[in-house]
Structure 1
Amino acid sequence: MKPRAVPHAVSRLRTARLARSTKPFLARGGPRGERCAGCRLVPSHCLCAVRPVMAVRAGVCLLMADTEPLKPSNTGWLIADVVADTFAFGWARTEVDPALLALLADPQWQPYLVFPGEFVAAERVVAEVLHCKPPERKRPLFVLLDATWPEARKMFRKSPYLNHLPVLSLQGDQLSRYRLRRSKRLVGEQSHFCTSEVAALCLELAGETHAAQTLEAYLDVFTHHYLQAKQQLPVDTECAAHRRLRGLRSAFGSHAGSIGA
């Protein structure tokens, strides 16, 4: 399937990161390592035809550890597929992208740094997204540290430009369905939430229930395609994950449209 005409933020960050590499990044799988430019999967298991297109008021800012944009299993890519206003920046200890600082200072956004509250001073921690009436209402911008848990803790400690942001501490009570990488991530060392699951919880708090459910279903479909490819098995478009994603699209009509059939 053809990728979308305009690459999203994570795709652009991946391209920039590859351009800086001194040696090629080789992901396993596919003939000669061939992968779809639109979804990073092997062509036989391409996901592009079911990529959701959503109208979402909230935004997501991904601050990504060095190699995260290169990994085919990274789920920040899925967030950028679903949430149009997704921004992605590479993290470095010694420098910060001026565009990131400008985004955090943009008056249309209310940024929330998503991180476990037990590691933060109590006065910074919030458990809810502020809901104000127009014209005062700002759009929520969820800042996610897209990294392994040790990397995320380092990023949190060594990013002083984030110190002024309120910290949104999530209390997810569901078990993670993410089965591709079992690193300890973001919402506590025992929770095993991946980045797209964290984003779905944030969208739910922001009142974007349909977008949250769609992102959850899209993750399940992506996981199915990825694992079927890894096991050299065909995609089952009638599996529970595909049926759920189709049901969400049908229930909301064109609001949950997608690229492709």
Structure 2
Amino acid sequence: MKITLLTHERELDRKTNTGALALAHCGEIVERVAWARREPDTTLVDSVERGEAALVYPAADSTPARLEDFAHVILIDATWQEARKIYNRSPYLQTAPRVAIAADSTSSYRLRRNQPEGGLCTAECVIEILRRNGEDAAADRLEAAFMQFNQAPDTQSSRKNEG
């Protein structure tokens, strides 16, 4: 199993970025690729074109795929607004099978505003993906780190600047 975080450049330096948390605690499974509109990562594009990768992205107009059918999962690591732009400006992502993750509970992420109802942050998505693929030890490790991160006062103060 491999999870690729397709990360918006603005996320790379944000203290509230939970993708960095997933990378730090599950680096053996999670990798980061910086999104580049004009020069997309060729390995990622090839994986989509070969039908090996699915995109975790809610899309009402698509036929949903089963997460369990893919060994490679792509997750856009950005704000919800940035994620829509990445998706809309990346034709190869639009051809990827899409998987929507319906969590058993609502998001507990409180360090950013403008979360859509039912939306999960990057770390929560990674936790769900790991659990569905039997990677419980990695999911537990990330979940514990996320709970601590979500309560950290230094990340809460930066929230006002990121909206």
- Report Cα offsets for 1:138-193 as digits up to 9, x if no partner: x7222111111121112112211223322111111312121211233xxxx21241
Aligned match of 2:161: none
Contact in 2 for aligned 1:183/1:192 (Cα 8 Å): no
| TM-score where L is the length of structure 2 | 0.81
Distance (whole Å) between structure 2 residues aligned to residue 213 and residue 90 of structure 1: 26
Q: How many residues align?
A: 156
Which has the greater radius of gyration? 1
> How far 1:106 sits from its partner (Å)?
10
1:193 aligns with one of 105, 120, 137: 120
Q: What is the correspondence of 1:152-167 to structure 2 with a 5 Å cutoff?
A: 152-167=83-98
Aligned match of 2:32: 88
**Letter of the aligned partner of 2:90 in structure 1?**
S
Aligned match of 1:227: 153
**Residue 129 in 1 paired to residue 68 in 2?**
yes
> How far 1:99 sits from its partner (Å)?
4.2
Distance (whole Å) between structure 1 residues aligned to residue 55 and residue 117 of structure 2: 20
| TM-score where L is the length of structure 1 | 0.53
Contact in 2 for aligned 1:140/1:206 (Cα 8 Å): no
Change in Cα spacing, 1:163 to 1:72, as seen in structure 2 (3 Å) is: same
Change in Cα spacing, 1:171 to 1:81, as seen in structure 2 (3 Å) is: same
**Letter of the aligned partner of 2:65 in structure 1?**
V
Distance (whole Å) between structure 2 residues aligned to residue 80 and residue 207 of structure 1: 18
Aligned match of 2:109: 178
Change in Cα spacing, 1:106 to 1:87, as seen in structure 2 (3 Å) is: farther
> How far 1:115 sits from its partner (Å)?
0.7
**Letter of the aligned partner of 1:190 in structure 2?**
E
> How far 1:98 sits from its partner (Å)?
2.8
> How far 1:114 sits from its partner (Å)?
0.1
Change in Cα spacing, 1:180 to 1:158, as seen in structure 2 (3 Å) is: same
**Letter of the aligned partner of 1:81 in structure 2?**
A
1:208 aligns with one of 135, 154, 160: 135
Contact in 1 for aligned 2:22/2:123 (Cα 8 Å): yes
2:54 aligns with one of 103, 112, 121: 112
Identity %, equivalent residues: 31
Distance (whole Å) between structure 2 residues aligned to residue 162 and residue 229 of structure 1: 31
| Alignment RMSD (CA, Å) | 2.5
**Residue 75 in 1 paired to residue 2 in 2?**
no
Q: Which has the higher helix share?
A: 2
SS of the equivalent of 2:141 reads helix
> How far 1:196 sits from its partner (Å)?
0.4
Contact in 1 for aligned 2:3/2:30 (Cα 8 Å): yes
> How far 1:82 sits from its partner (Å)?
2.2
Distance (whole Å) between structure 1 residues aligned to residue 59 and residue 132 of structure 2: 16
**Letter of the aligned partner of 1:96 in structure 2?**
P
- Report Cα offsets for 1:18-69 as digits up to 9, x if no partner: xxxxxxxxxxxxxxxxxxxxxxxxxxxxxxxxxxxxxxxx221011112101
Contact in 2 for aligned 1:127/1:170 (Cα 8 Å): no
Distance (whole Å) between structure 1 residues aligned to residue 19 and residue 122 of structure 2: 6
Change in Cα spacing, 1:105 to 1:112, as seen in structure 2 (3 Å) is: closer
- Gaps (5+ residues) in structure 2? 158-163
- Gaps (5+ residues) in structure 1? 1-57, 131-138, 232-261
Of structures 1 and 2, the one with the larger relative CO (CA 8 A, separation 6+) is 2
Contact in 1 for aligned 2:62/2:98 (Cα 8 Å): no
